[in-house]
Amino acid sequence: MNIVMVGSGYVGLVSGACFADLGHTVICVDKDAGKIEALRAGRIPIYEPGLAELVEKNAKAGRISFETSLDGVAAAADAIFIAVGTPSRASDGHADLSYVYAAAQDIARAVRKFTVVVTKSTVPVGTGDDVERIIRETNPTADVAVASNPEFLREGAAIPDFMHPDRIVIGVNDARAESVLAAIYKPLTDAGAPLMTMGRRTSELTKYANNAFLAMKITFINEVADLCERVGADVRDVAKGIGADDRIGAKFLQAGPGYGGSCFPKDTLALAKTAQDYDSPLRLIETLVAINDNRKRQMARKIIQAAGGDVRGKTICVLGLTFKPNTDDMREAPSLSIIQALRDSGATIRAYDPEGMEHAKLLMPHIVFGPDPYSAAEGATVTALITEWDEFKSLDFARLRSVVASPMFVDLRNVYRPDEVSRHGFTIVGVGRKA
């Protein structure tokens, strides 16, 4: 199949590279000329394990190439996937669909034969109808079918997630679109991946319901963690106990500083807004959005408490800035709000992150970055682990002890058992457990 990806970010580039690896011919388009120039030169603009190798292999085989415009490249396409961003609209929290609509107009002008236009971006219910209308208005002779195919990959594990999905969801109102998508995903369905075909609107809503449910699990265990601290229980054991129940499942039950990232915050908000618009409010989702927003400043207060109740003039070391490990993505990372709150209280921040420092520098130019955890911790009153990179799972606490001003460790991901840290003279504060 000939496939064009519009948008070559985390989802567009990973999906494009994986489609190419499945044997399709893929052109990744992005209006960011710098990104395309880098990709043509063999440089990957994002950090995602295995992606550089996958792109290189398929570029050498002639199965993936990169363009800045759809003009000329869409003519042979069997399917064009829209994988542009759908961030929160600053004014009201709805999903900003301007990039999707612009892509639909570009596609309308570029298609030359029957083409399936597939929305892979996370979009509110009814966006497929809008995309279809925009294409028809822009080019009444365009022969297209518009489908939905939400993406469930996780940054940091994006390639295995794409290649071994729990399920592939396609939303189609057109038999031709269904057969093209079935052919595209055949290598995966032949290998056992379940293909779930449903209506376009149902597919669009499935993606939001999925993310909202996962965000709800995280928020639930975070609130239970707070209660654990009050009653002297340990949230890790509670999570183990309930996670063993098949009906609940163990994943997404790690208490921490609240969910962040490019998806959960904007998708929970957008779903709540959509539900209000349809006069069918999702109170659970509205509540978890508010709880999660508050949680980040609550984590800053935990750090301030660990510093003795006042951080004015003190140095706090932050280990891990990205919203989760194995990505360089800083979008809505909990570290951003936590650090802001610490600075508001007068702290100086030193930090280290294995992959996120380049992006973090642009967002938080006031931070003093160290080349490793130990340099970052020099003179720190509190060392706070915010993102659980593997590199932070075996810290040399004796070395850390020799550089910090005070042996206080705040472990917002419950990576360490208290005795592992306390035997080096550190006091540890975790989430949802006794110090």
Ligand X SMILES: NC(=O)c1ccc[n+]([C@@H]2O[C@H](COP(=O)([O-])OP(=O)(O)OC[C@H]3O[C@@H](n4cnc5c(N)ncnc54)[C@H](O)[C@@H]3O)[C@@H](O)[C@H]2O)c1
Catalytic positions, please?
A: 263
Alpha-carbon distance of 363 to 291, in angstroms, equals 24
The verdict on 83 binding ligand X (CB under 6 A) reads: yes
What ranges make up the beta strands (E) of 310-401? 315-319, 348-352, 368-369, 382-385
Residues from 206 through 225 that contact ligand X (CB under 6 A): none
| Residue 102, amino acid | A
Which residue among 107, 142, 239, 263 contacts ligand X (CB under 6 A)?
Answer: 263
Which residue among 148, 149, 262, 274 contacts ligand X (CB under 6 A)?
Answer: 262
Work out the angle between the directed axes of helices 200-231 and 127-138 (0-180°, nearest 10).
140
Residues from 146 through 165 that contact ligand X (CB under 6 A): 151, 153, 155
The verdict on 229 binding ligand X (CB under 6 A) reads: no
Residues from 281 through 340 that contact ligand X (CB under 6 A): none
Which residue among 12, 258, 356, 373 contacts ligand X (CB under 6 A)?
Answer: 12
One-character DSSP codes across 222-278: HHHHHHHHHHT--HHHHHHHHHTSTTT-STT----S---SSSHHHHHHHHHHHHHHT
Which residue among 17, 22, 29, 342 contacts ligand X (CB under 6 A)?
Answer: 29
In angstroms, give the least distance from the CB of 224 to ligand X.
26
Count of residues of this chain found to bind ligand X when the rule CB under 6 A is applied? 27
Alpha-carbon distance of 101 to 391, in angstroms, equals 41
Site string for ligand X, 112-151 (x = CB under 6 A): ---------xx----------------------------x
Which residue among 10, 185, 323, 409 contacts ligand X (CB under 6 A)?
Answer: 10
324 phi and psi, to 5 degrees?
-160, 170
Which residue among 18, 19, 35, 144 contacts ligand X (CB under 6 A)?
Answer: 35
One-character DSSP codes across 138-160: H-TT--EEEEE------TTSHHH
- Note the Cα 285 to chain centre separation in Å: 18
Alpha-carbon distance of 150 to 153, in angstroms, equals 10
Task: Indicate the SS3 state at residue 211.
Answer: helix
In angstroms, give the least distance from the CB of 146 to ligand X.
16
In angstroms, give the least distance from the CB of 155 to ligand X.
4
Closest CB to ligand X among residues 11, 118: 11
One-character DSSP codes across 163-191: HS-S-EEEE-S-HHHHHHHHHHTHHHHHT
The verdict on 166 binding ligand X (CB under 6 A) reads: no
Which residues of the chain form contacts with ligand X (CB under 6 A)?
6-12, 29-32, 35, 83-86, 99, 102-103, 106, 121-122, 151, 153, 155, 262-263
